[in-house]
Amino acid sequence: MAESNIDEFDNAVGLIFAELYQNFPIRILIEPRIAANSSPIDPTVDGWDKRYFHQLAIFKFTMSWLIQAGYIWSEKQDDMAELAGVFKNCVLSAKGLEILKTPDSLSGASIGAQLQDAARDGVLSSVKSLTEKALGIGAKMGYSAAVAWASS
Protein backbone atom coordinates (compact mmCIF):
# COMPACT_ATOMS: atom_id res chain seq x y z
CA MET A 1 0.00 0.00 0.00
CA ALA A 2 1.29 3.44 -0.90
CA GLU A 3 2.20 5.83 1.87
CA SER A 4 -0.02 8.84 2.44
CA ASN A 5 1.38 12.34 2.03
CA ILE A 6 1.28 12.69 5.84
CA ASP A 7 3.39 9.54 6.28
CA GLU A 8 5.87 10.79 3.67
CA PHE A 9 5.90 14.21 5.37
CA ASP A 10 6.60 12.63 8.78
CA ASN A 11 9.43 10.54 7.35
CA ALA A 12 10.96 13.53 5.57
CA VAL A 13 10.72 15.71 8.70
CA GLY A 14 12.36 13.02 10.81
CA LEU A 15 15.22 12.45 8.37
CA ILE A 16 15.78 16.20 7.94
CA PHE A 17 15.73 16.77 11.71
CA ALA A 18 18.19 13.89 12.24
CA GLU A 19 20.61 15.36 9.69
CA LEU A 20 20.40 18.86 11.17
CA TYR A 21 20.69 17.59 14.76
CA GLN A 22 23.76 15.53 13.89
CA ASN A 23 25.48 18.54 12.29
CA PHE A 24 24.35 21.26 14.74
CA PRO A 25 25.53 24.10 14.98
CA ILE A 26 27.13 23.88 11.54
CA ARG A 27 24.99 25.20 8.70
CA ILE A 28 24.61 22.54 6.03
CA LEU A 29 23.14 21.94 2.60
CA ILE A 30 19.88 19.99 2.72
CA GLU A 31 18.92 18.26 -0.50
CA PRO A 32 16.28 15.73 -1.58
CA ARG A 33 18.59 12.70 -1.27
CA ILE A 34 18.28 12.98 2.53
CA ALA A 35 14.61 12.04 2.44
CA ALA A 36 14.80 9.85 -0.69
CA ASN A 37 16.94 7.29 1.13
CA SER A 38 13.80 6.14 2.97
CA SER A 39 12.18 4.88 -0.25
CA PRO A 40 14.62 4.73 -3.15
CA ILE A 41 13.26 4.89 -6.67
CA ASP A 42 14.12 2.21 -9.20
CA PRO A 43 14.36 3.85 -12.66
CA THR A 44 13.73 0.48 -14.32
CA VAL A 45 10.16 0.36 -12.97
CA ASP A 46 7.36 1.94 -15.00
CA GLY A 47 6.18 5.22 -13.50
CA TRP A 48 9.44 5.91 -11.69
CA ASP A 49 9.45 9.49 -12.96
CA LYS A 50 6.01 10.21 -11.47
CA ARG A 51 7.19 8.80 -8.12
CA TYR A 52 10.42 10.82 -8.32
CA PHE A 53 8.63 14.13 -8.89
CA HIS A 54 6.11 13.31 -6.16
CA GLN A 55 8.94 12.64 -3.66
CA LEU A 56 10.70 15.83 -4.76
CA ALA A 57 7.50 17.85 -4.21
CA ILE A 58 6.95 16.30 -0.76
CA PHE A 59 10.55 17.13 0.18
CA LYS A 60 10.46 20.73 -1.09
CA PHE A 61 7.12 21.54 0.53
CA THR A 62 8.19 19.83 3.77
CA MET A 63 11.36 21.95 3.93
CA SER A 64 9.39 25.11 3.14
CA TRP A 65 6.89 24.26 5.88
CA LEU A 66 9.65 23.58 8.44
CA ILE A 67 11.28 26.93 7.62
CA GLN A 68 7.99 28.86 7.73
CA ALA A 69 7.00 27.14 10.99
CA GLY A 70 10.31 28.30 12.53
CA TYR A 71 12.00 24.93 13.08
CA ILE A 72 14.83 25.64 10.62
CA TRP A 73 16.81 28.71 9.61
CA SER A 74 17.92 28.72 5.98
CA GLU A 75 19.50 31.05 3.45
CA LYS A 76 17.13 32.51 0.86
CA GLN A 77 17.11 30.18 -2.13
CA ASP A 78 18.01 31.19 -5.66
CA ASP A 79 15.76 30.01 -8.49
CA MET A 80 17.96 27.08 -9.57
CA ALA A 81 18.41 25.78 -6.03
CA GLU A 82 14.67 26.09 -5.39
CA LEU A 83 13.86 24.18 -8.57
CA ALA A 84 16.25 21.38 -7.59
CA GLY A 85 15.01 21.30 -3.99
CA VAL A 86 18.38 22.36 -2.55
CA PHE A 87 18.29 24.41 0.66
CA LYS A 88 21.51 26.21 1.53
CA ASN A 89 23.01 27.04 4.94
CA CYS A 90 20.38 25.23 7.00
CA VAL A 91 20.54 24.90 10.77
CA LEU A 92 18.05 24.11 13.50
CA SER A 93 16.45 27.23 14.95
CA ALA A 94 16.32 27.70 18.72
CA LYS A 95 12.81 26.22 18.63
CA GLY A 96 13.94 23.22 16.55
CA LEU A 97 16.92 22.53 18.80
CA GLU A 98 14.85 22.83 21.99
CA ILE A 99 12.36 20.28 20.69
CA LEU A 100 15.04 17.81 19.62
CA LYS A 101 16.93 18.16 22.91
CA THR A 102 13.77 17.24 24.84
CA PRO A 103 14.33 13.93 26.62
CA ASP A 104 11.92 11.11 25.89
CA SER A 105 9.93 10.19 28.98
CA LEU A 106 10.52 6.45 28.48
CA SER A 107 14.15 6.17 27.45
CA GLY A 108 15.58 9.42 28.77
CA ALA A 109 17.49 9.94 25.51
CA SER A 110 16.74 13.11 23.56
CA ILE A 111 14.29 12.95 20.69
CA GLY A 112 17.07 14.20 18.39
CA ALA A 113 19.47 11.41 19.41
CA GLN A 114 16.75 8.82 18.92
CA LEU A 115 15.89 10.26 15.50
CA GLN A 116 19.56 10.03 14.50
CA ASP A 117 19.68 6.36 15.53
CA ALA A 118 16.40 5.48 13.81
CA ALA A 119 17.39 7.31 10.61
CA ARG A 120 20.84 5.66 10.56
CA ASP A 121 19.30 2.22 11.14
CA GLY A 122 16.51 2.77 8.61
CA VAL A 123 13.72 2.21 11.15
CA LEU A 124 11.08 4.41 9.53
CA SER A 125 8.34 3.46 11.98
CA SER A 126 10.47 4.95 14.77
CA VAL A 127 11.31 8.00 12.64
CA LYS A 128 7.59 8.58 12.10
CA SER A 129 6.60 8.24 15.78
CA LEU A 130 9.50 10.40 16.97
CA THR A 131 8.62 13.04 14.37
CA GLU A 132 5.01 13.08 15.57
CA LYS A 133 6.27 13.51 19.14
CA ALA A 134 8.63 16.35 18.15
CA LEU A 135 5.98 18.23 16.18
CA GLY A 136 3.52 17.74 19.06
CA ILE A 137 6.00 19.35 21.44
CA GLY A 138 6.45 22.21 18.97
CA ALA A 139 2.69 22.72 18.75
CA LYS A 140 2.38 22.80 22.55
CA MET A 141 5.22 25.34 22.73
CA GLY A 142 3.40 27.55 20.23
CA TYR A 143 0.10 27.23 22.07
CA SER A 144 1.71 28.03 25.43
CA ALA A 145 3.43 31.09 23.95
CA ALA A 146 0.14 32.30 22.43
CA VAL A 147 -1.73 31.87 25.75
CA ALA A 148 1.02 33.71 27.64
CA TRP A 149 0.98 36.55 25.10
CA ALA A 150 -2.84 36.81 25.18
CA SER A 151 -2.96 36.91 28.97
CA SER A 152 -0.27 39.61 29.28
Between 78 and 130, where is the model more confident? 130
Tell me the average pLDDT of the chain.
85
Give the helix/strand (H/E) hosting 92: strand 87-92
pTM: 0.84
pLDDT digits (tens, 9 = 90+) for 85-104: 899 999 999 999 999 999 87
Q: What is the pLDDT of residue 1?
A: 47
Better-scored residue on pLDDT, 68 or 83: 68
Q: How many CA atoms lie within 13 A of 1 on its CB side?
A: 4
Q: How does residue 151 score in pLDDT terms, banded at 50, 70 and 90?
A: confident
Which of 78, 98, 96 is closest to 87 using CA atoms?
A: 78
The Cα 132–Cα 138 span in angstroms is 10
Between 60 and 148, the higher pLDDT residue: 60
pLDDT for 46 equals 72
